[in-house]
Chains A and B, each alone.
Chain A
Amino acid sequence: MTDESRRGFIGKAFGAFAAVGGIASLIAMKKTWDPLPSVMSAGFTTVDVSGLEENKLEIVVWRGKPIFILKYSADMTPTEGRNIKIGDHYYSVMIGLCTHLGCIPAYRTVKKDFKCACHGGEFSADGKETFGPPPRPLDIPPFNLDGETLVLGEEGEAYRALVAKA
């Protein structure tokens, strides 16, 4: 009897040990599928907004999409729920894809608005649709604020407050 139970124990121990190896391999395989570190770091784009010029559109790429950052000049009025205040200035931070069919609108510094050349849609400086086919304002990407540095891809407090007001 004891012999049989010992054999049973050794069998189970062997099985359990093999299972540990199997699980460890699966974890390794799962990690091989993970996005590469370079991809992960590219998923969070940091932009130092302090050096930006007023009324000049800055375009950065975040997760394959163009992101518009526009620093307001003193004569531009910010909109509740659309603009964020960083330091002493207001900014528009938006995904730069026309909400109609995804073309990239151009910023017109004189009229202070966006014009989409594809189908003639227009947006005001805060991203609200003002003319043409676009169904909704330009989307706002998740961001976080760290002093005067904007971190795209993280949902920060300022972002949540902004979305709540919109």
Chain B
Amino acid sequence: MAEFKKADSMLEWFDQRLGVINFSKVMMTEYWIPKNINFLWAMGALLMMMFGVLLISGIFLLMYYKPDVALAFDSVNYTIMHDVAYGWLFRHIHAVGASVIFLVIYIHMFTGIYYGSYKKGREMIWLSGMLLFVLFSAEGFSGYMLPWGQMSYWAAYVITEIFGGIPVIGGDLVVWIRGNFYVSDSTLTRFFMLHVLLIPVVMLGAIAFHFYSLRFPHVNNEAGEFFDYDVEAEKYLAGDKKGSKVIPFWPVFLAKDFFVMGVFLIFFFYLVFYYYGFAMDPVNFDKADGLKTPTHIYPEWYFLWSYEVLRGFFFEMFGISGKDLGLMAFAFANGIFLVMPWLDRSPTVAPANQRPYFKIWFWLLMIDLIVLTIFGKLPPTGANAWVGFASSLSFIVLFLALPVITTLEAKKLGAK
């Protein structure tokens, strides 16, 4: 190691020891983002902010929460909501934040699908993103149990019961997950551990990986255009900022993100103060009672579409019981987005509105998901059950048809 010369400034002192100047270039001022983007490209920064908000509000809730079936309900609804200064605010932020973060996740995800940002080198971005989706879902589910209300209990009961449908090991697996034959104290405490430690730690790693995976293929842009980043970056650094196709992460890209955050936060805090009921279900303010099933059991809104796929198959077909068909469809629905890059057989990277067949497929998928979500909440009786069946079946058909549609589209575009 070369000898250190005496530093002339604080910056130099740190730079000698940590290489901060080069580091900030790589991470901020010379991390290049395409210029041709819209506000949908701010969802990543929004998610990072929401993750921070949930982490911080969660830390304060953790100071008073008690993971014990005898104490949990009152520690949340009395201690935190009534006694702790601003405890109610942190709980509202945490509950509403957990719900709204899924809205941003879905927008982020479908932006990626719309602009084809999952293929031609960007597969790892997509896969790590889907891994994060799974982790956030597990985090949401485990956290929902903690207030130990009626919905906490019965959602935990119904969802863990799903694993019972796995052949051979199902029954034992359910008992193993719960740590008891029914949802009980051991279930609450282990899900508490998952929620506050294991899953968040894995999430931090997955987030870092997701960011890292963006480095090589670069961020996609509104036109799906491929260009040489080095050439454009040089242009920018040489002073041709208007002519260059790229902008630096700091300050240009983040300047836009901060504005989007500002608008989003107005929406978010409006919900926190005035419209929090959708994220804090009234039924959950009845203490958990294993001997009393609520009239309607439904998961949080962000699980509704896959929940509806699960219960959409309510009758026997081909000699397979409705329950098993539902489980298979449920497994399909939760796994299929993962292989999106390989289902889309067209090499074109372009927004959906410039792709004749994919465009139709995309909007059909959106409609189907909305129908599934809405009917996932409605009681599955009468005509509702059939709408559920039709939309669940359409979901599967849409994904099975995707390779065919995109192959035909590639031929058509290639022929032009």
The chain A residues found within 8 Å of chain B, CB to CB, are: 33-36, 39, 43, 63-66, 97, 101-104, 153
Say yes or no: A63 contacts B182, CB within 8 Å: yes
A36 to B182, CA, bound (A): 13
Instruction: Tell me, yes or no, whether B278 is within 8 Å of chain A by CB.
Output: no
Instruction: Of the listed stretches B93-101, B125-133, B287-295, B300-308, name the one at the interface; the rest are far from the partner chain.
Output: B287-295
Instruction: Tell me, yes or no, whether B180 is within 8 Å of chain A by CB.
Output: yes
Q: Given A64-B181, A64-B184: A33 and B290 within 8 A (CB)?
A: no
A45 to B356, CA, bound (A): 65
Say yes or no: B293 contacts A35, CB within 8 Å: no
Say yes or no: A35 contacts B179, CB within 8 Å: yes
Residues of chain B within 8 A (CB-CB) of A34 are: 176, 179
Say yes or no: B291 contacts A39, CB within 8 Å: no
Residues of chain B within 8 A (CB-CB) of A104 are: 291
Q: Nearest A residue to B183 by beta-carbon distance?
A: A64
The chain B residues found within 8 Å of chain A, CB to CB, are: 175-176, 178-182, 184, 186, 190, 290-293, 295
Q: Given A33-B176, A35-B176: A64 and B293 within 8 A (CB)?
A: no
Residues of chain A within 8 A (CB-CB) of B181 are: 35, 39, 43, 63-64, 153
**In the complex, what's the smallest C-beta–C-beta distance from A97 to chain B, in angstroms?**
6
Residues of chain B within 8 A (CB-CB) of A65 are: 182, 290-291
Residues of chain B within 8 A (CB-CB) of A35 are: 175-176, 178-181, 186
Say yes or no: A64 contacts B175, CB within 8 Å: no
Residues of chain B within 8 A (CB-CB) of A97 are: 291
A102 to B186, CA, bound (A): 23
**In the complex, what's the smallest C-beta–C-beta distance from B120 to chain A, in angstroms?**
35
Residues of chain A within 8 A (CB-CB) of B178 are: 35
**Can you show 17 pairs from A to B with CB atoms below 8 A apart?**
A33-B176, A35-B175, A35-B176, A35-B180, A35-B181, A36-B179, A43-B175, A63-B181, A63-B182, A64-B180, A64-B182, A64-B184, A65-B182, A66-B291, A101-B292, A102-B292, A103-B292
A2 to B184, CA, bound (A): 60
Residues of chain B within 8 A (CB-CB) of A101 are: 292-293, 295
Q: Nearest A residue to B289 by beta-carbon distance?
A: A102
Main secondary structure of the interface of A (DSSP, over half): loop
Residues of chain A within 8 A (CB-CB) of B175 are: 35, 43
A100 to B295, CA, bound (A): 10
Residues of chain B within 8 A (CB-CB) of A43 are: 175, 181
Pick the residue among B179, B292, B293, B295 that contacts A33 (CB under 8 A).
B179
A36 to B186, CA, bound (A): 9
A101 to B178, CA, bound (A): 23
Q: Identify the 9 closest CB pairs spanning chains A and B, nearest first.
A: A63-B181, A64-B182, A102-B292, A102-B293, A39-B180, A43-B181, A35-B179, A64-B290, A102-B291
**Most chain A CB atoms below 10 A, which of B175, B184, B186, B291:** B291
**In the complex, what's the smallest C-beta–C-beta distance from A104 to chain B, in angstroms?**
7
**In the complex, what's the smallest C-beta–C-beta distance from B180 to chain A, in angstroms?**
5
Q: Nearest B residue to A64 by beta-carbon distance?
A: B182
**In the complex, what's the smallest C-beta–C-beta distance from A110 to chain B, in angstroms?**
26
**In the complex, what's the smallest C-beta–C-beta distance from B45 to chain A, in angstroms?**
36
A101 to B290, CA, bound (A): 11
Residues of chain A within 8 A (CB-CB) of B290 are: 64-65
A63 to B295, CA, bound (A): 23
A35 to B293, CA, bound (A): 24
Q: Nearest B residue to A44 by beta-carbon distance?
A: B181
Residues of chain A within 8 A (CB-CB) of B186 are: 35-36, 39
Q: Nearest B residue to A97 by beta-carbon distance?
A: B291
**Most chain A CB atoms below 10 A, which of B175, B181, B186, B290:** B181
Residues of chain B within 8 A (CB-CB) of A66 are: 291
A63 to B186, CA, bound (A): 13
Q: Nearest A residue to B185 by beta-carbon distance?
A: A39
Besides the known contacts A35-B178, A97-B291, 4 further A-B residue pairs in the complex with CB atoms under 8 A apart: A34-B179, A35-B175, A63-B182, A101-B293
**In the complex, what's the smallest C-beta–C-beta distance from B181 to chain A, in angstroms?**
4
Say yes or no: B291 contacts A103, CB within 8 Å: yes
A164 to B182, CA, bound (A): 26
A43 to B290, CA, bound (A): 16
Residues of chain A within 8 A (CB-CB) of B182 are: 63-65
Residues of chain A within 8 A (CB-CB) of B176 are: 33-35
**In the complex, what's the smallest C-beta–C-beta distance from A68 to chain B, in angstroms?**
13
Q: Nearest A residue to B292 by beta-carbon distance?
A: A102
A149 to B184, CA, bound (A): 27
Residues of chain B within 8 A (CB-CB) of A33 are: 176, 179, 190
**In the complex, what's the smallest C-beta–C-beta distance from B161 to chain A, in angstroms?**
14
A35 to B195, CA, bound (A): 20
Residues of chain A within 8 A (CB-CB) of B179 are: 33-36, 39
Q: Nearest A residue to B295 by beta-carbon distance?
A: A101
A33 to B175, CA, bound (A): 10
Q: Nearest B residue to A66 by beta-carbon distance?
A: B291
A39 to B186, CA, bound (A): 10
**Most chain B CB atoms below 10 A, which of A39, A43, A66:** A39
A104 to B190, CA, bound (A): 29
Residues of chain A within 8 A (CB-CB) of B291 are: 65-66, 97, 102-104
**In the complex, what's the smallest C-beta–C-beta distance from A96 to chain B, in angstroms?**
9
**In the complex, what's the smallest C-beta–C-beta distance from A29 to chain B, in angstroms?**
11
A153 to B171, CA, bound (A): 13
